[in-house]
Structure 1
């Protein structure tokens, strides 16, 4: 087990092997030792694998492998969700003017700026060499893997033969973000032309996971730090999970550097084993300094309405996007998914499927729209920032202002609940000129739990003037918040907003669930037990 400091860096002397202690107890032991030896201590946390998406579906793996042998056809659309009815360009329907408007927006950008350029950091599983739709400006030399054992290597994704939803996830989302021009022979004679939403962009891939099942805490931290150092202006990450303080600190650093971070709201399932996963917006998307990518189907209805779903086998048919609570949706935006193209590679020369889904597909579309707007107004934005040299966060807020205020919000009356600020419209966003006026700095990303320590009586056992206990209070909050994501019996508390009042019943449920859990640290249980 590895222990991280508050900035997500591994503490070398705290790498343990074969330790029977629980991860958070190892972190608490480090705090105790530091107090004894130096008299001072800082926040630390275990380098945990984030398992929010670790719910493989053996049945769907086999079905998808078989269907990959078929001719590319309409039957690949997910049957529980609406499919596009366009007669032309149906293959890339989401790019069209009646949907996300990327074709129109890119034409407008090229008319103003003949050679546009912008760096986008793509944090995912990497890329699979050889796919014909990989971005034209894919920077392979700058690509980097942050997976243990792959240090110093490029962000190359090697197929493992598992689910097509998992294998090549980075390739698929990268193609949606900035895919190159393809020939008809690449698409089973379905389409010819550019396939990405921002095909002009330079893409720097950062590989943080072999699949979307596990995300190591330190890998995301290192990738985001690398993106900042490489001058990326936008980040696209189609992953989500439980929070950590290290994640929060790097999200704050990116925001202060003026980087627009777009991450997936997360997915949930209607039935089956995956039904136990959280249904609310996950992290980093839950933080206000990030744009949370939610989903909307091609009929402009939310990608969350369980009433639309028939009972099918667990997999894409019963997957839907996460949403809520209400205060989180103020920085969420919807893009089109599912039944969108999904880049893939197999032994039969098939490069695309029609059944792409999840908020993974929505995320790169929103990131692309941010990149187009930033590039279109580069000169104007730079002039504004000259007046605020120490406030580069204004750049992020200008992007959010443009995307949010141009979003379509009339198709569905309850858009605030399920979609957030509305449905992405890339071209209409270009009508909003950047301005530094009326911008509010977003709340810092953190792992504070709205007084939960006081609610659980923990503050009575923690000495307010003791530095070690102040650190321990932060550690307890992070651990409890992670448990709220991991334990289905605690998911209800993810619905709570900062202003909500917790009842005595809620307090006792939380306490009992934490006490009986096998994964909660003994140190936290010690403080939770009645005196």
Structure 2
């Protein structure tokens, strides 16, 4: 089976408008290119070498990258999904993380935690409420689970972008076994908007876990598993949002929540930029790790400036992370940092929160964990703010200002504290911990303030990589392809992670000559590196030795 490439063609404005190249529908990225998915040719050769070969053959190609499995989850037995492990007590909290010991309760909604219940009550009491449309990107939904909010889900707009599956059927296939992770979408959807139903071990709770009014949910299946996540699926999902749903006011998307992430993609960056300009608030998971591997730093798309990164805070307000030396391959932790990227991050509460159990159709467990559980909480708060301030947000002259208004409310009111842990809250929580009710009180800012808040366009090309590789100061696209490839290696290779890991910044341009040589040697030895990237590494070694 041949590999697939994500290829961006240079196009005229006319072709951009028709999204058509030689009769083939293509994805308009919002810049001067459109994306097509092409057969790479030789399935045995390196994927990035295939991309370079295609790029070199056609002057009309602006950029090419492989359609890789971008997930950065480690396929350990613990990742086979808690729901598959016999003997799990769904009514017991995960003991390795803080939890309420006095009595079992749904603590994360409370006023001294996320404030989501108070925020919901305040918005639902409004005499007039706009409908906020939320796209839920995940492994699909389970319409048979008692938590499924069928009154809120628009099945007719749902889509499935997993290769080989029915485009119009976004249900989870629930394929069990290693790397499958069935039910992930069921769990995250239940936190976003699960129906009122019993929670294991908590007989006194009689409320909704998530949103229950004034929203419409569009579920989109983009992966079979959080471990098997193809880059093209997210490209196609974003295309559907920005180029189809957002082409009509009656289907326009306001919020996107995705409890997944992984490696860098230029096509992702271009479409995220377009979504931001259309006023779409996107929040994605910061990522998870086992024993600090494969990375404990933010993953894409949470790394993008125009995306909000969802990190984790625990019951006692400490980070969802173990100190150095205390991790293990049996305990999942949340990603965070470097501090320079946490400017657009915020934390919500995890683990030990409710999570719908896909094998138990009539049950919520209380072992929800991962930054996957934090992400829909932040999306909920964004939707509530949008609903309360709908008229003021919709009257703004530029739609990116909607995103910045919501961010301003969430970030400025976030709880800026951290207990029982060394370091600063910014390093682990970014702007702080979600306080949804306080955020509702923040008015939509003045236009001048919002203009100054506009984020720069996202890209996967970082200056430090150019310096390390000794590339020219120009912007030749083949050099940009080398940078994108190196960004993927830097997040997925544990040895490169060890060398460049800095809690404060991604900028490694000041590495010593010895460290640069070691860095180049790691590239040259990596079996996933292309010959083009290895040649760049050889040039560094020859120059510095």
Query: Could you tell me whether the CA contact under 8 Å between 1:251 and 1:445 is conserved in 2?
Result: yes
SS across alignment from 2:348: strand
SS across alignment from 2:65: strand
SS across alignment from 2:134: strand
Is 1:485 matched with 2:491?
Answer: yes
Superposed CA offset, 1:10-53 (max 9, x none): 645x4146532111111111122114xxxx53111111111311
Instruction: Mark the runs of 5 or more structure 1 residues left unpaired by the alignment.
Output: none
Q: C-alpha displacement at 1:500, in angstroms?
A: 5.5
Query: Could you tell me whether the CA contact under 8 Å between 1:164 and 1:344 is conserved in 2?
Result: no
Corresponding residue number in structure 1 for 2:310: 293
SS across alignment from 1:162: coil
Q: 1:93 to 1:514 in 2, by over 3 A?
A: same
2:54 to 30, 55, 73: 30
1:342 to 355, 358, 362: 355
Q: TM-score, normalised by structure 2?
A: 0.85
Q: 1:454 to 1:420 in 2, by over 3 A?
A: closer
Corresponding residue number in structure 2 for 1:235: 256
Q: 1:485 to 1:340 in 2, by over 3 A?
A: same
CA separation in 1, counterparts of 2:492 and 2:311? 21
CA separation in 2, counterparts of 1:474 and 1:127? 37
Corresponding residue number in structure 1 for 2:162: 147
Q: C-alpha displacement at 1:222, in angstroms?
A: 1.0
Q: Which residues in structure 2 correspond to 1:101-500 (within 5 Å)?
A: 101-135=115-149, 136-162=151-177, 166-182=181-197, 184=198, 189=203, 191-197=205-211, 199-228=213-242, 229-230=244-245, 231-270=252-291, 275-306=292-323, 314-315=329-330, 318-346=331-359, 349=361, 351-383=363-395, 385=396, 388=397, 391-412=398-419, 414-435=424-445, 436-439=447-450, 440-459=453-472, 464=474, 470-492=476-498, 493=500, 495=502, 496-498=505-507
CA separation in 2, counterparts of 1:85 and 1:117? 38
Query: Could you tell me whether the CA contact under 8 Å between 1:484 and 1:494 is conserved in 2?
Result: no
Instruction: Mark the runs of 5 or more structure 2 residues left unpaired by the alignment.
Output: 9-28, 246-251
Query: Could you tell me whether the CA contact under 8 Å between 1:453 and 1:459 is conserved in 2?
Result: yes
CA separation in 2, counterparts of 1:415 and 1:253? 31
Superposed CA offset, 1:285-329 (max 9, x none): 1111111100000111111233796x77x33xx211111111111
Is 1:502 matched with 2:502?
Answer: no
Q: C-alpha displacement at 1:180, in angstroms?
A: 1.9
C-alpha RMSD of the superposition: 2.6
Query: Could you tell me whether the CA contact under 8 Å between 2:289 and 2:295 is conserved in 1?
Result: yes
Q: 1:62 to 1:232 in 2, by over 3 A?
A: closer
Query: Could you tell me whether the CA contact under 8 Å between 1:91 and 1:341 is conserved in 2?
Result: no
Q: 1:94 to 1:24 in 2, by over 3 A?
A: same
CA separation in 1, counterparts of 2:454 and 2:354? 36
Superposed CA offset, 1:329-383 (max 9, x none): 111101000011111122x555222111110000000011000001100011122
CA separation in 1, counterparts of 2:289 and 2:222? 22
SS across alignment from 1:423: coil
Query: Could you tell me whether the CA contact under 8 Å between 2:340 and 2:506 is conserved in 1?
Result: yes
Count of aligned positions: 498
Q: C-alpha displacement at 1:191, in angstroms?
A: 3.1
Structure 1 runs of 4+ aligned residues shifted over 6 Å read 185-188
CA separation in 1, counterparts of 2:136 and 2:152? 13
CA separation in 1, counterparts of 2:180 and 2:98? 20
Q: TM-score, normalised by structure 1?
A: 0.87
Q: C-alpha displacement at 1:232, in angstroms?
A: 1.0
Corresponding residue number in structure 1 for 2:72: 52
Query: Could you tell me whether the CA contact under 8 Å between 2:74 and 2:293 is conserved in 1?
Result: no
Q: C-alpha displacement at 1:506, in angstroms?
A: 2.9
Q: C-alpha displacement at 1:501, in angstroms?
A: 2.5
Q: After alignment, is 105-114 or 57-66 more displaced?
A: 57-66
CA separation in 1, counterparts of 2:287 and 2:513? 30
Query: Could you tell me whether the CA contact under 8 Å between 1:43 and 1:475 is conserved in 2?
Result: yes
Q: 1:171 to 1:187 in 2, by over 3 A?
A: farther
Q: 1:59 to 1:217 in 2, by over 3 A?
A: closer
SS across alignment from 1:335: strand
Query: Could you tell me whether the CA contact under 8 Å between 1:41 and 1:471 is conserved in 2?
Result: no
CA separation in 1, counterparts of 2:83 and 2:344? 37
